[in-house]
Every structure is written in C-alpha cells, then in structure tokens.
Amino acid sequence: MKVTSATFIGAASEPGRFPAPSFPEVAFAGRSNVGKSSAINRIVGRRGLARTSSTPGRTQQLNFFGIDDKLVFVDLPGYGYAKVSQAARAAWRPLVESYLGTRGALAGVVLIVDIRRGLEEEEHQMLDFLAALGTPVLLIATKIDKLNRSGQAKALKALAASALPIVPFSAITGEGVPAVWKTIAEWTRPDPAGPRRAAR
C-alpha cells in the first residue's frame, strides 16, 4: 500500500489517557531495540516517522500516528531493556495492558521479534494476554538480513511452532512489507455484519 499521509496524532504515558479513537488501530509491540520504529517507518514508507535510536528503552509512551485518514498505527513502548529505571519498568505493564485491554478501536497487534532471538518469556506473556482478549496477532520476524538463507529457514521453522501468522521482515531491504499490509487490510476490512468488537 502506498501511504499518502502519515502524521503524529499524540502520545500517551498514563493508563486510560489515550487520544480519542478515530480509525481502526494497529499496535506494534516488541522488545526495546528489536527494530520496531524501523519497521513502522519502512511499512509506512517514511524515514523519520517513528523515531529510531541506538539508545533503546527511553520512550515509555504510546505514540499514535494517523495513516491516510483510515488507519492509526500505535507504537507501543518497548520492553525488556535492562537499563531502564525500576519505575519505568513498573509503569510499562499497566500502561500497555490498559491500552490493549480496553481499546475498542484496536484491530490487531503486530508483535516484532528479532529473528535471531525468537520468542522469549516476555513475548509468550504478551501472546497469552492477547489470546485471552481474542485480539488478532501478526508476528514479524525482523532483521532477517542478518542471517543467511539457511539461518533464516531454521529460525522461521522454530517460530512456526507458535502457529501464528509470521512475516519474515527486514527494515533494510523492505522484505515483508507487502505481506504486513495484506494482514492489516484483512484486520481492518469493513465487516458487513458490524464491528468485530463492541465499542468499549
């Protein structure tokens, strides 16, 4: 999909205090430094939309981006970075669970994992939480450019055990971008029988 406009709508750093919902939302989750901002930028085709940095763990907030007056992308705060403060770490779960657990506009969650690390404890916790809510999930296996073909195949086979839809991805080469859009289109297709989730 070609994005014509992508704009920062707002940020949220306290549970329950989110921008008013407008369009269906796709949230991006992942470990700090996994390549979440790079993936969002690549998917949207905007270099500097979601800030990328080599100093991970600093943004403990949700950032909302409006995409072409039909979608909202939500960059969730990253987890698992050892150097964030105790206070920031304690604040992460209520903030993220408040959003994921109550947002009627949420159409699906893109969980980004480093293909070299796969699913670890934090990812399993996130997946259990989303499964309990019935929220659709797409797994992005990013940084595939860091592995050769056989390394990629081996890592993808291990991830396939999760039985989730998986897109092999690279923010460097752009591989996987069309597949991500295809899933987002499925999540946000207007349902003639009415909204998938009741407004909450």
Ligand X SMILES: Nc1nc2c(ncn2[C@@H]2O[C@H](COP(=O)(O)OP(=O)(O)O)[C@@H](O)[C@H]2O)c(=O)[nH]1
Query: Which run of H or of E encompasses 27?
Result: strand 25-30
- Ranges within 57-96 binding ligand X (CB under 6 A): 78
Among 29, 37, 44, 74, contact with Mg ion (rule: CB under 5 A): 37
Helix (H, G, I), strand (E, B) or coil at 147: coil
Residues 9 and 175: their CA atoms lie apart, in Å, by 27
DSSP string, 55-121: STT---SEEEEEETTTEEEEEPPPB--TTS-HHHHHHHHHHHHHHHHH-TTEEEEEEEEETTT---H
Backbone angles phi, psi at 93, to 5 degrees: -65, -50
Stretch that binds Mg ion, among 33-41, 93-101, 128-136, 157-165 (CB under 5 A): 33-41
Among 6, 166, 171, 180, contact with ligand X (rule: CB under 6 A): 171
Stretch that binds ligand X, among 33-41, 97-105, 159-167, 178-186 (CB under 6 A): 33-41
Stretch that binds Mg ion, among 34-42, 101-109, 126-134, 162-170 (CB under 5 A): 34-42
Q: Which is nearer to Mg ion, 155 or 171 (CB)?
A: 171
Residues 167 and 51: their CA atoms lie apart, in Å, by 22
Residues, the chain? 200
162 binds, among Mg ion, ligand X, none (CB under 5 to 8 A by kind): none
Residue closest to Mg ion when measured from CB atoms = 37
135 binds, among ligand X, Mg ion, none (CB under 5 to 8 A by kind): none
Stretch that binds ligand X, among 64-72, 122-130, 138-146, 181-189 (CB under 6 A): 138-146
Q: Which is nearer to ligand X, 34 or 49 (CB)?
A: 34
Give me 14's structure tokens. Answer: 């306290």
Q: How far is the CB of 174 from ligand X (least distance, A)?
A: 9
Backbone angles phi, psi at 187, to 5 degrees: -65, -35
Residues that bind ligand X (CB under 6 A): 30, 32-38, 52-54, 56, 78, 142-143, 145-146, 170-172
